[in-house]
Amino acid sequence: MIAVHPLLEGLPDEKKGKLVSEDQPGFMEPMLATLTDRRFSDGDWIFERKFDGERCLVFREGRSVRLMSRNEKTLNNTYPELEDAFCEAVEANFIADGEIVAFEGEVTSFSRLQDRMQIRERKKARRSDVSVYLYLFDLMYLDGFDLCSLELLTRKDILKNLISFEDPLRYTEHRSENGVEYYHEACRKGWEGIIAKRATGRYLRRRSTDWLKFKCVHRQEFVIGGYTEPGGSRIGFGALLIGYYKDDRLIYAGKVGTGFDDETLQDLADRLSSRERKTSPFTAKDRPEKGEHFVTPELVCEVAFTEWTEDGKLRHPRYLGLRDDKPAKDVVRERPRA
């Protein structure tokens, strides 16, 4: 007979009936939110801060702690202090979902997190002056039971009571009302936005409209398909040529030439030169850019912008950093749902 964790044993019979007994899986696809232009307040939804960081799934089994990106890359060597923290904070076997962040003042900064995301050596990561924190917001498995069919608020309550939350581990608080007011507050504070989640929703291992993104700024991932030559005293390259996939075709979305420091320019130039090719990876590119070069479309970057133009290009794009937690082929244009 399976020994039931006290936090599960204390659940009402109705909720116990939703638990699924199974061996702990080696990986679990994360639930993803859907972009929307609709802002609302609804008692059937909760509202959480949207963090500007790197998604992280935590797998604790026995003494082993694995930090995994959403595309199954191991993050332990990049964030060893988070692995250490879980060894102290909890002894149960579990799978939890969260976001790793770094701060600039009181605002999470993906650009600052870049200095840690690119590190692959544990000793170098420990010497880094970029402090990171992991905000956990969901719990999908606990001591022999899949929790994904439990209501979101029940899962969050178990999570909050399961782990001793001390830095660098933090629990993601939520509001149960005033979603519109919270969204405007988030934008005033310079946050990326908020996430609205259906309070009674299950954890669905895919993108779902049970989780909705209220973004304060436009930003998303793009695939790098080329670059232009640098001008004047600039080093590395002039601008990145970027796009997104639609039906296996790489669609050109314009070029981004701001948001780089000299170190980033040189690092990216080295990465791009090793991927250079003669032909364009873009399905249809309206006109050539001066001094353009093409590369194999493998690198994914995050870009902020003001809006899409009528001809499908980005207005005022700004480079934020590279992402290695999403395959290039998965990058599509995000379109808000009404």
**CA pair distance 112, 108, nearest whole angstrom:** 8
The verdict on whether 50 is a catalytic residue reads: yes
Q: Is 189 left (phi over 0), alpha (psi -120 to 50) or beta?
A: alpha
Q: Over the range 84-102, which residues count as b (16 or more CB within 10 Å of their CB) and which as e?
A: ebbeeebeebbbbbbbbbb
Which of 16, 18, 50, 197 is catalytic? The answer is: 50
Q: Which residues are identified as catalytic?
A: 50
